[in-house]
Amino acid sequence: MFKAATIKDIAKELGFSASTVSRALLDSHEVSIETRKKVKDYAKKINYYSNPAARSLKNSRSYSIGVMVADVANSFFSQTINGIESVAYEKGYHVIITQSHDLYEREAINIEHLANSSVDGLLISMSAGTTDYSHITKLHERGLPIVFFDRIIDDIKTFKVTTDNFKAAFDATVLLIKKGYERIAFIANAPQLSITSDRVNGYKAALEANSLPFEESLVKYCFAGGRILDEVTDAIDGLLGLPDKPQALFIASDQLSKASIRALSKLSHHNDLAIIGFSNSDVIDLISPHISYIKQNAFSIGEIAMQMLIKLMESKYPIYNFETKLVDAEIYWNDNFDL
């Protein structure tokens, strides 16, 4: 079995002590330039890499961070992960990804698991099924650096980054109104999520700004967030069964968009409806019915989240003034509902 080179091997070969070699590799000023060069050259020659376990044990840092998302198969999250990884990688951090599948239990277990594997920090997008945050507050109080992204929560004071959901929903609604649609229904995600209330509020504000009435009956919350097709089908059936049918549909998430389209594609007269929905799918433009969509800057959100976490982890002193960054989304309008 292969045995990796250690600092001792270098020390023995070059006639230095292990401490000098260690310092040389860390570029300490207590080692002469020539010695540093000698050590580094030889280290490279014999393909030396510091043993991460030993380094972790000594420094009580693991140089790995944990990421909690609902599902990697979700385009938004996989794009976010790409952003996270690009920053993490260049800063020398490993990324351990876990999925909640929007279930509270999975979230709690996985986060516990991550914390006990001594990750140096956590990047969390809350599961839709979570209403009790104690498993996270516990870790936060212990001093574990945590950054929330996408689905953020108010209860914990730390860095957060998400789409400017209010603005995105506001703009999209205004766009629908400008195009002449005044009765706009809203298919919402689980109500406990930050992204849900922000988006609903943006929608409400847009209606108000255009002196249109807000009708409770036009808003349908989907607690499973599109995971259960029936929930979405029922919501749409309910809307289309209304005496005064809506002219347009605002769909508040990627999962919901897919589910709604699937539900609508089985109906005959879906072409009457103007549809705009959140989606980061790379094939959204190929799907019919052809919808307008709001695309989040997922990659940027990932990058920013990771940068925030690094700031938190590497800060020598405790940080008290936290920032919640809002990233703009992009709206793509499609007039043509038939392909």
Contact positions vs DNA (CB under 7 A): 3-4, 6-8, 15-20, 22-23, 25-26, 29-33, 35, 48, 50-51, 54-55, 57-60
Sheet architecture: strand order including 184-188:
219-221, 184-188, 248-251, 274-278, 292-295, 330-332
- Contact window for a second copy (CB under 8 A) among 28-36, 129-137, 240-248, 256-264: 256-264
Q: Which does 29 bind (CB under 5 to 8 A by kind): DNA, a second copy, none?
A: DNA
Radius of gyration in angstroms for the set of CA atoms belonging to the chain, rounded to a whole number: 25
Considering the complex, state which of residue 194 and residue 233 has its C-beta at the smaller distance from a second copy. 233
Q: Which does 332 bind (CB under 5 to 8 A by kind): a second copy, DNA, none?
A: none
Q: How far is the CB of 29 from DNA (least distance, A)?
A: 7
Q: How far is the CB of 6 from DNA (least distance, A)?
A: 3
Q: Which does 32 bind (CB under 5 to 8 A by kind): DNA, a second copy, none?
A: DNA
The Cα–Cα gap between 118 and 305 comes to: 19
Considering the complex, state which of residue 17 and residue 82 has its C-beta at the smaller distance from DNA. 17
Contact assessment for residue 332 and residue 276, using Cβ atoms and an 8 Å cutoff: no
Q: How far is the CB of 116 from DNA (least distance, A)?
A: 10
Q: How far is the CB of 141 from DNA (least distance, A)?
A: 19
Q: How far is the CB of 311 from DNA (least distance, A)?
A: 20
Within 41-60, the residues that bind a second copy by CB under 8 A are 49, 51-54, 56-57, 60
Considering the complex, state which of residue 27 and residue 335 has its C-beta at the smaller distance from DNA. 27
**Interaction mask 89-118, a second copy, x per CB under 8 A:** x----xxxxxx-------------x--xxx
Q: How far is the CB of 148 from DNA (least distance, A)?
A: 29
Q: Which of 41, 182, 237, 282 binds a second copy (CB under 8 A)?
A: 282
CA angle 76, 77, 80 (to 5 degrees): 90
Q: Which amino acid appears at position 326 of this protein?
A: L
Considering the complex, state which of residue 32 and residue 324 has its C-beta at the smaller distance from DNA. 32
| DSSP code for 176 | H
Considering the complex, state which of residue 38 and residue 258 has its C-beta at the smaller distance from DNA. 38
Q: Which of 2, 34, 244, 336 binds a second copy (CB under 8 A)?
A: 2
The residues that bridge with 97 in the sheet, in sequence order, are 67
**DSSP states along 99-159:** E-TT-HHHHHHHHHHHHHTT-SEEEE---TT----HHHHHHHHHT--EEEESS--SSS-S-
Burial category of 131 from C-beta neighbours within 10 Å (exposed 0-12, middle 13-18, buried 19 and up): exposed
The residues that bridge with 220 in the sheet, in sequence order, are 187
Q: Which amino acid appears at position 265 of this protein?
A: S
The Cα–Cα gap between 224 and 229 comes to: 9
Query: If DSSP codes are grouped into helix, strand and coil, which group holds residue 332?
Result: strand
- Whether a cis peptide bond, with omega within 30° of 0, leads into 289 is yes
By the rule CB under 8 A, 144 interacts with a second copy: yes
Q: Which does 20 bind (CB under 5 to 8 A by kind): DNA, a second copy, none?
A: DNA
- Tally the residues of the chain: 339
Q: Which residues contact 311 (CB under 8 A, 6 or more apart)?
A: 159, 319
Q: How far is the CB of 167 from a second copy (least distance, A)?
A: 26
By the rule CB under 8 A, 233 interacts with a second copy: no
Binding site for a second copy (CB under 8 A): 1-2, 4, 49, 51-54, 56-57, 60, 62, 64, 71-73, 75, 78-79, 81-82, 85, 89, 94-99, 113, 116-118, 142-144, 258, 261-262, 265, 281-283, 285-288, 339
